[in-house]
Amino acid sequence: MDGTTLRDARKARPWTQKQAAEALGVTQAYLSMLERGRRELPEELVRKALKTLAVRPTALPLPSAEEFRAGNRNHDFSAALGALGYPKFAYLRKKKRVNPALLLFDALNQADLDSRVAEGLPWLAHTYVDMNWEWLGRNARVHDRQNRLGFAVSLAREVAERENDRDRAEKLRQCLDSLERARLAREDTFCHDGMTEAEKTWLRQHRSPTAKHWNLLTDLRGELLAYEP
């Protein structure tokens, strides 16, 4: 999150700097410096802005390259999806949210996920089309997860097209362009590496054209998904 995002969120309320500063618990002078980029926004203030100014969680800071390599990110994926608004896990909703781009990558990087969690990953792409796709695509390619990401985004686009949401579908198409160029030829699963050989054989014959395109063994299909914009 940068100062421009903070300023735009304040004006959207619409609040004066004084009103926003009081709500955020900072001085007007400090808020002015933040909005002008004179100071870096601390994560604690970003999280407060999410609630106070209705800033989207895509504004949450993403880990630096060093932090990303260090790992140590243990998510409760069901609860994290619920916190971001995924309806099927709404009953697990918690207060602290994770940047959707980080959550999507970490989920796609798992060897095995609960099928209900995997089903929610296209929802992240569909709901948070404003996430940092450059960061996500770069890290997906580094870890050879671009096919999984491409599949999730493709399903999200299928849902958007079925809803006649042209703007959303176009944004997702743009995200797919760079992933398409980096598509891997090797076979993979959609976060279900522990499946049996019999399951793999069946899926090779019965998977969707989208799954086949991304060289994934999965029975997940776009026509089975429906999301609220």
Rounded-to-integer distance, Cα 159 and Cα 130, Å: 17
Residues 139-143 have a mean pLDDT of 93
Q: What is the tens place of the pLDDT at every residue in 5-46? A: 889 889 988 999 999 999 999 999 999 999 998 888 888 888
Strand partners for 189: 217
Residue ranges in the chain assigned as alpha helix (H)? 3-12, 17-24, 28-35, 43-52, 65-70, 77-83, 100-108, 115-127, 133-142, 146-162, 166-181, 197-206, 209-213
Q: Residue 220: its pLDDT value, please?
A: 96
Measured CA angle at 67 (ends 63, 72), to 5 deg: 105
In the predicted model, is pLDDT for residue 229 greater than 60? no
Q: Residue 2: its pLDDT value, please?
A: 82
Residue 157: CB atoms within 10 Å? 25
Q: What is the tens place of the pLDDT at every residue in 167-205? A: 999 999 999 999 999 999 999 999 999 999 999 999 999
Q: Residue 64: its pLDDT value, please?
A: 77
Q: How far is the first Cα of the chain from the last one, in angstroms, to the nearest whole number?
A: 23
Q: What is the tens place of the pLDDT at every residue in 55-92? A: 889 988 888 777 777 666 788 999 999 999 999 998 88
Global pTM reads 0.86
Rounded-to-integer distance, Cα 149 and Cα 39, Å: 34
Q: In which element (H, E) is residue 188 found?
A: strand 188-189
pLDDT band at residue 159 under the 50/70/90 scheme:
very high
Strand partners for 188: 216
Domain(s) labelled CATH 1.10.260.40 in the chain stretch across 3-55
| Cβ neighbours of residue 100 closer than 8 Å, sequence gap 6 or more | 57, 58, 84, 124, 127, 128, 131
User: In terms of CATH architecture, what is 3-55?
Assistant: Orthogonal Bundle (1.10)
